[in-house]
Amino acid sequence: MKKLTLLRHAKSGDDGLVARDIDRRLNAKGRRAARAIGRHLRDTASRFDAVVASPAVRVAETVEEVSAGYGRGLAPIWDRRIYLASASELIDLIRGQPAETGSLLLIGHNPGLEDLVLTLVPASDGKRGAVEEKYPTGSLAEIDLDIEDWADLAPATGGLARFVRPRDLDPELGPDAL
């Protein structure tokens, strides 16, 4: 049995001050949301054998804020393949993880992360509906996989253990009112 946790970077600012998408930074709400997710990970005693993350600035800042809330550093391996990866590219990356890694945290972007959840978790899983609706920034999906080796990762081999959005932890972190 393997545990795969997927964290979408927190909310970034789109202030037009950066020329490249990879350089976008978190906004204040994103920083608060990432810290709340970190506290949630601490409060649920979540542990990871390995952390792999996109090198995008907004992901690095998400890692920093989650670590602050979690109370321990995540020390990710930065992997450019995660940046804007599709679900199939993410599956290839995950399949390459060492077999002895029992619990993996992958931090990246949509639509790849959402599509990955929908690929790994069968449609019959009742918890999947929230992910189908929307995988907001800063959200965390934890999938229990019925495999012994990451190389065996295949569609519909997982069950959604939890899906946590920042607004689930603090209503003020929900969508802005119109």
Predicted pLDDT of residue 176 = 61
Distance CA 164, CA 101 (A): 23
**What pLDDT sits at residue 17?**
74
Alpha carbon distance 110, 83 (integer Å): 9
* CA dihedral over 41, 44, 45, 46, signed as positive or negative: negative
Position 13 scores a pLDDT of: 85
H or E element, residue 8: strand 2-8
- The tokens describing 167, both together, are 């607004």
Residue-averaged pLDDT of the chain: 95
d(CA 131, CA 126): 11
* Residue range 116-154, pLDDT digits in tens: 999 999 999 999 999 999 999 999 999 999 999 999 999
pLDDT given for residue 25 in this prediction: 94
* pTM: predicted TM-score of the whole model, two decimal places: 0.95
**CA 87, 161, 68: angle at the middle one, nearest 5?**
80
**Which of the residues in the chain have pLDDT under 50?**
177-178
- Could you tell me the domains of the chain? 2-11+25-171 (3.40.50.1240)
Distance CA 27, CA 47 (A): 27
